[in-house]
Amino acid sequence: MVVFTEIHGMTELNDGKPRRVKNCRPYSFLLEEDTTSFGIYEKGGIVTQVKQPKVLNFKSLREALKNPGDFLLSDFSKFDRPPLLHLAFQALDEFKVQFGRLPAFGSEEDAIHLIRLAKQINEGAGDLKLESIDEDILRRLSEGAKAVLNPMAAMFGGIIGQEVVKACSGKFHPLFQFFYFDSLESLPDEVAQEHGETVSDNRYYAQASVFGHQLQEKLQDAKVFVVGAGALGCEILKNLALMGVACGGKGKLIVTDDDVIEKSNLSRQFLFRDWNIGESKSTVAASAALAINPYLRIEAFQNRVSPETENVFDDAFWESIDVVINALDNVNARLYVDSRCVYFQKPLLESGTLGTKCNTQMVIPHFTENYGASRDPPEKQAPMCTLHSFPHNINHCLTWARSEFEGLMEKTPTEVNSYLSKPEEYKASMVLAGDAQARELLEKVVECLVAERCRTFSDCLFWARKKFEEYFTNKIKQLTFTFPEDSVTSTGALFWSPPKRFPKPLEFSTEDPSHLSFIAAAAYLKAQTYGIVVPDWAKDFNRLAEAVNEIKLPSFTPKQGVKIVTDEKATSLSISASDDSMVINSLIKVLDENASSIAPGFRMISIPFEKDDDTNYHMDLIAGLANMRARNYAIPEVDKLRAKLIAGRIIPAIATTTALATGLVCLELYKIFLGHKVEKYRNTFANLALPLFSMAEPVSPKVFRHQELSWSVWDRWAIHGNITLQELLDWFESKGLTAYSISCGQSLLYNNIFPKHRDRLDRKVLDLAKDIAKLEIPPSRRHFDVVVACEDDNGDDIDVPLVSIYF
């Protein structure tokens, strides 16, 4: 079902009515409608798919129990499990009716009763009767029926929370009708003999009863590193505190996050409150987790985990950790933590969310591939020429607006301050560059310090009014002068063919509130960059309008020969000119001539974008820039909230998905401390909107082989001794490999194509690394790493592991 807009000619289709189309191909579709009485199609038109409401008829619980229909599956290796669990939970309800309680922990008698009830219900199930009943699964259900496990509660809380939202909002597809989930693979093989060791008044009694006392001790003495204390991090810390992880005498829970709490975090990062805004995430989260469990041995760091902090998170730190749990929101940080876990052979529990979608990935040394083994394709970015000259949706306008904000309010003041701090060095660097980019930077410096320098708020108001004219009137006039509406491309096609939209210049009016709002926000922020106090009269829009009406600007006439970038592959809008160097020199001369007019010590104030402060005018300016531009191109405008979501690059995140993901992660944590085999681990992808749950065994790592040797990404080859370069080459030769290139960091220590490198053969590899690669080894470290490129006897390249030389 689609709706049509902006069709020229056959305008009857522009009525907003959803219409059915079929036979959809990349450039065509068939409209299921008689259009013979419509006008003749001329050109243009936008077609947008629209979702139609769906009516679902649910059975009553009584009816659905007897005839459940299709079950929602989560794990295709258990495709026959849901009917059995449907029967088992009915038997559990019947058990509670008969005995007034749930089966007791470890009671064989209660398990036999439950199995008997299940068989009785199955006998009366008619066509839905199961041919066989796996008594072991029923016995497991009986043994754990009284236990409420935190990971299961978190996971089901997330699912049910989303179902409540669906019921209230009518948005997304509800669960229809039964979903059964089990994680029996998380259980130990045998726990019965340990039941006597549990104590009923222990807060971990239920967990210890299901998993055994030994596992509970392992959890309490665990050393866990949680990277990130945002939405995922808060949920994980809560889960770990409730599970008793790192709550024993030998336990340690380290959490790190270099971010501070913002207002927008409060909707899903539930360990924080409004009075925590501006405080360190990791510190506040650690305190909140400690309130949940006072025995939690937790320590908070405020460091980003990166190459720059390897003095904090050093070898000794990584070697002391049992397991790492990622709670990050960007790929680069995940890749770095993954590389550390591979290097130090540590299990990594990885998860991520995006709106109603989430995924979890288990990274287990030697058994699974690492996180970095597979990558998502990069997100498609709109071409620069589209953003700057040919936008065709509001996202383009908002991306451009955010870029302009950063250029005007953050980057340009920073550039000016670079010049003011060290003027001679700055000018020399511009002369040395001598290109279009250097020319444009200097033009901005001259504009701020000379041509359009603001000394009073009235100057800022004049600048804002001039910017409106430049952005939304003059540039549009120049664009349509260079490319008139009827202009054609070299192939004869109309230049302004969809998706391009032919723009129209705006005529400024203080009667238009959106025009005046833009001028006000721009002037207020421009004043801030110069440290100018905004006068009280300027906050009164009536008086502001009077002042703006007094401003007179010269009329604009488009020029011939102006170059406008139309190449979608262009990465810069700077157009080089033969006289760039000459212009740079003349701009420097202007700065020199006006240097005496700049007060000693004067600096501009750079304004970084902050989306969460509704009083700072940042979003007012960005929304104004975007909506005025949208008006130029007849693109539907947006309100400030929608503008904040897009321009603020806010990743959709909701508490329900976070709870689901972290619950699943903590189910896998049990398996790590139980030492389970890889076939018992599960990676998950879920989408609560559909709903969809897809669980599968992790992928094994890629194995490389050469003769009798085999290795994967998890392997490192260790060589002990302070060896020479020749001895290193001989070591590889003994394995049937020819090492032709050896590097350390970014430096090449040896390559057999360079004759002079043979002079290095008798030198220690350690000395070469210190002299050539400038390697600095911390006092606590007793090894360093080199990357070796090898080939076999046939001359084929062989990827070998990283080589660690323990000197």
Closest CA to 460 of 401, 370, 533: 533
DSSP string, 516-562: HHHHHHHHHHHHHHTTPPPPGGGGSHHHHHHHHHT---------TT-
Cα(181)–Cα(768) distance, integer angstroms: 58
Q: What is the pLDDT of residues 183-205, one digit of tens each?
A: 999 999 876 444 444 455 689 99
What token pair was written down for 258?
């270099």
Collapsing DSSP to helix, strand or coil, 303 comes out as coil
Burial class (CB in 10 A: 0-12, 13-18, 19+), 165: middle
**pTM, whole model, 2 decimals?**
0.84
What's the confidence (pLDDT) of residue 580? Answer: 84
Taking only the tens place, the pLDDT of each residue in 724-767 is 999 999 999 999 999 999 999 999 999 999 999 999 999 999 99
Mean pLDDT score, 315-342: 95
Instruction: Report whether 380 contacts 396 (CB < 8 A).
Output: no
* Residues 606 and 450: beta-carbon distance below 8 Å: no
The residues, ordered by sequence, that sit 6+ positions from 451 with a Cβ below 8 Å of its Cβ are: none
Residue 493 is predicted with a pLDDT of 86
The backbone torsions φ and ψ at residue 229, rounded to the nearest 5 degrees and listed phi first, read -130, 40
pLDDT band of residue 611 (cuts 50, 70, 90) is confident
User: Tell me, what's the pLDDT at 195?
Assistant: 46
Which tokens hold the place of 80? 């026959």
Say if CB 120 and CB 90 are below 8 A apart: no
697 contact partners, CB below 8 Å, separation of at least 6: 77, 678, 679, 681, 682, 683
Q: Are the C-beta atoms of 167 and 174 separated by less than 8 Å?
A: yes
Q: What does the alpha-carbon distance between residue 779 and residue 773 come to, in Å, rounded to a whole number?
A: 18
Please tell me whether residue 592 adopts helix, strand or coil conformation: helix
Distance CA 620, CA 611 (A): 10
* Separation of alpha carbons 204 and 241, rounded Å: 11
CA distance to 397, 399, 654, per residue, from 643 (Å): 10, 10, 19
| DSSP structure class, residue 573 | -
pLDDT the model gives residue 313:
95
Calculate Rg over the CA atoms of the chain. Answer: 33
- Residue 773: CA count within 13 A, CB half-sphere: 22
pLDDT digits (tens, 9 = 90+) for 55-104: 889 999 999 999 999 999 999 999 999 999 999 999 999 999 999 999 99
Hey, what are 130's tokens?
Answer: 């199961």
Give 629's pLDDT tier (boundaries 50, 70, 90).
very high
Report which residue type is found at 83.
P
What residues act catalytically?
A: 385
pLDDT tens-place string over residues 562-593 = 888 887 776 666 555 667 889 999 999 999 99
Q: Which residues of 548-582 are buried (b: 16+ CB within 10 A; e: fewer)?
A: beeeeeeeeeeeeeeeeebeeeeeeebeeeeebbe
CA 104 to chain centre: 44
Q: Specify the amino acid at residue 438.
A: A
Lowest average pLDDT, out of 33-42, 221-230, 526-535, goes to: 33-42
Neighbour-count burial of 441, counting CB atoms closer than 10 A to its CB (0-12 exposed, 13-18 middle, 19+ buried): buried
Average pLDDT along the chain: 93
- Are 255 and 207 a contacting pair, CB within 8 Å? no
In this prediction, residues 167-177 reach a mean pLDDT of: 93
* Residues 328-353, mean pLDDT to the nearest whole number: 96
pLDDT band at residue 263 using 50, 70 and 90 as cut-offs: confident
Of residues 41, 169, 82, 22, the one with CA closest to residue 656: 169
DSSP output for 238-288 = HHHHHHTTT-STT-EEEEE---B--GGGGGT-TT--GGGTTSBHHHHHHHH
Q: Are strands 252-256 and 298-301 parallel, antiparallel or unpaired?
A: parallel
Distance CA 324, CA 671 (A): 14
Query: Integer distance in angstroms from the first to the last C-alpha of the chain?
Result: 69
The pLDDT of residue 115 is above 70 = yes
Helix (H) or strand (E) holding 364: none
Residues 6+ apart with CB under 8 A from 443: 587
Q: Phi-psi bin for 126: left (phi > 0), alpha (psi -120 to 50), beta?
A: left
pLDDT one-digit tens code per residue, 678-707: 999 999 999 999 999 999 999 999 999 998
Phi, psi of 32 (to 5 degrees): -85, 70
Read off the pLDDT of each residue in 506-532 and give the average, rounded to a whole number: 96
- CA-closest candidate to residue 379, choices 409, 405, 399: 399
Q: What is the pLDDT of residues 282-316, one digit of tens each?
A: 999 999 999 999 999 999 999 999 999 999 999 99
**Which amino acid is it at 687?**
N
680 in Cβ contact with 78 (< 8 Å): no
* Cα gap 675→211, rounded to integer Å: 13
pLDDT at 576: 57
pLDDT at residue 715 in the model: 95
Identify whether the C-beta of residue 533 lies closer than 8 Å to the C-beta of residue 605.
no
Checking if the pLDDT of 780 tops 90, the result is no
Please list the alpha-helical segments (H only) found in 345-391: 384-389
Q: Are 90 and 132 in contact (CB under 8 A)?
A: no
Confidence of residue 614 (pLDDT cuts 50, 70, 90): confident
HSE-CB at 198 with a 13 A cutoff on CA atoms is: 23
Which pLDDT belongs to residue 781? Answer: 85
Tokens, residue 281 = 């995430």
Percent of the chain exceeding pLDDT 90 equals 82
- Residue 405 in contact with residue 618, Cβ under 8 Å? yes
Amino acid at 743: S
pLDDT digits (tens, 9 = 90+) for 116-156: 999 999 999 988 899 999 999 999 999 999 999 999 999 99
Of the given ranges (118-127, 371-380, 390-399), which has the lowest mean pLDDT? 371-380
Tell me, what's the pLDDT at 192? 47
